[in-house]
Structure 1
Amino acid sequence: MTPAERNRIEALARSERPLIICDIDEVVLEFVSPFMAFLESHDHELRTDSFQLTGNVYFKKTGEPADKATISEFLERFFNEHDSWQKPAEGARETLATIEAKHGVDIVYLTAMPPRHHARRRALLDRHGFPHPMIATEEAKGAAVATLIRHHPRRPVAFIDDLPPNHVSVLETVPDALALHLMAYRPLRALLPPMPKGVRTVESWAEAAEAIAEHLSNLAC
């Protein structure tokens, strides 16, 4: 992370405005579809038999499953060139711009990705019209959220993510946060484990915007 980006994060942490925290993969940017295309380009395929990568990536010519080390290598190679594959999730850019303008919120992107890929993903977000600060971390997301609200722990928080464990981590840190589950790749939704208590599933960015507006309105009453 550059010093300039660190300064943006620090300024955001000192703000008292409502905070919208967005995951990137499968929330702001498509991930599953581009990763499938990437695997196809390397003679492999992802079968959505269950909600995991290990055991579901196969070598197309033999039908043999790829082992964990091979999948890790594919993920690293994908992140090294993901800016050539990933596109915005439907409605993400326009909806976030509307939420920001209408409700006067702060927005930050929080992605579970090795920090060494920060610059490439930062450039990709900028190219697609997502100018807000970004944090890349391999730590629990609740720890990053705690840092973001350390100056104003009572500021309203909405957290949007596709994975149940991330919601658990954040709700342990901010129990009264609005937790929204959103996933761009619909075929995988049925394979997800149950959402943790307190997490609301939304089917689209339009529905997420309605939930955020309702949440902020209730807090203002």
Structure 2
Amino acid sequence: MSEILDLSHISLKDRPLIVCDVDDVVLQFFAPFEHYLKKDGLELLPRSFRLTGNIVTVGTDVAVEDMAVKQLIGSFFEQQEEWQTPFDLALDTLNALGADADVMFLTAMPPRYSEPRRRLLDRLGFDFPLVATEEPKGPVMRRIHGERALPSVFIDDMAHNLHSVRDHVDNCLVLHMMPDSPLHLLAPKPDDGITRALDWAQAGDLIRAHIGR
């Protein structure tokens, strides 16, 4: 039975809404995850945009079994406070935008890992509300934003999340951000019409143009 998504801590003001992914948008994931694997004699090979089948034992190219991959990801999320660091200008940009808009994080992870994520974000200064869920992001953002006639923005690195929000939230600026990593070069590309931001400086400009602030 799936957990009921708790949004009771989300309280919006009468102003635009910015919903932002966390992994590989605000906090680095793939680079520190690669370092995390090396301590156990493993490496991540950029053969396709997936972790399962591409985590191998160093020197053998023997892929780690699917269940072990899930355990590695879970263990990394439990220890994320020791490994993950923010991208340049992410904090400054979101803090500046937060003067004129509600900012919140929507992270695709099991809710049981949300507490260490909350602690890490707080320690780094990202004191915006956090929702951790494995549900599709479009319906979740629609629940949060509702039918408000106010500008909204969604930022993510994954094409399926961008498409989900585009299909569920009208007149939303759907912004694609991802690191320039060998693995991300293999990621599915978002549809035409979805805006790409190369860094947080450009993202800030695009968001301000959309929300009119």
- The TM-score normalised by the length of structure 1 is 0.89
Q: How far apart are the structure 2 equivalents of 1:7 and 1:194?
A: 34
Is 1:206 matched with 2:201? yes
Kindly state the Cα deviation for residue 185 of structure 1 after the two structures are TM-superposed.
4.2
Secondary structure at the aligned position of 1:8 is classed as: coil
Is 1:8 matched with 2:9? yes
Is 1:160 matched with 2:155? yes
Please tell me the residue identity of whatever aligns with 1:209: G
Q: Which residue of 2 aligns with 1:140?
A: 136
CA contact (8 A) 1:95 1:209 kept: yes
Kindly state the Cα deviation for residue 198 of structure 1 after the two structures are TM-superposed.
2.8
Residue by residue, what CA displacement relative to the aligned partner does 1:78-125 show, whole Å, maximum 9, x if unpaired? 111111100111210111112223xx1000000001011111110100
Q: How far apart are the structure 2 equivalents of 1:64 and 1:192?
A: 23
CA contact (8 A) 1:21 1:160 kept: yes
Q: How far apart are the structure 2 equivalents of 1:106 and 1:48?
A: 36
Please tell me the residue identity of whatever aligns with 1:126: D
Q: How far apart are the structure 1 equivalents of 2:192 and 2:151?
A: 19
Kindly state the Cα deviation for residue 212 of structure 1 after the two structures are TM-superposed.
0.6
CA contact (8 A) 1:181 1:199 kept: yes
Q: How far apart are the structure 1 equivalents of 2:14 and 2:173?
A: 17
Q: How far apart are the structure 2 equivalents of 1:191 and 1:68?
A: 20
Kindly state the Cα deviation for residue 153 of structure 1 after the two structures are TM-superposed.
3.0
CA contact (8 A) 2:7 2:131 kept: no
Kindly state the Cα deviation for residue 48 of structure 1 after the two structures are TM-superposed.
1.4
Equivalent runs, 1:112-151 vs 2, <5 Å: 112-150=108-146
Please tell me the residue identity of whatever aligns with 2:40: H
CA contact (8 A) 1:48 1:56 kept: yes
Identity of aligned residues (%): 38
Q: Which residue of 2 aligns with 1:174?
A: 169
Is 1:37 matched with 2:35? yes
Secondary structure at the aligned position of 1:111 is classed as: strand
Aligned pair count reads 208
Secondary structure at the aligned position of 1:30 is classed as: coil
Q: How far apart are the structure 2 equivalents of 1:189 and 1:60?
A: 21
Q: Which runs of 5+ in 2 are unaligned?
A: 1-5
Cα RMSD for the two superposed structures: 1.6
CA contact (8 A) 2:56 2:63 kept: yes
Secondary structure at the aligned position of 2:36 is classed as: helix
Q: Which runs of 5+ in 1 are unaligned?
A: none
Q: How far apart are the structure 2 equivalents of 1:187 and 1:99?
A: 30
Q: Which residue of 2 aligns with 1:19?
A: 17
The equivalent position to 2:102 in structure 1, one of 103, 106, 113, is 106
Kindly state the Cα deviation for residue 61 of structure 1 after the two structures are TM-superposed.
4.1
CA contact (8 A) 1:100 1:107 kept: yes
Kindly state the Cα deviation for residue 8 of structure 1 after the two structures are TM-superposed.
3.5
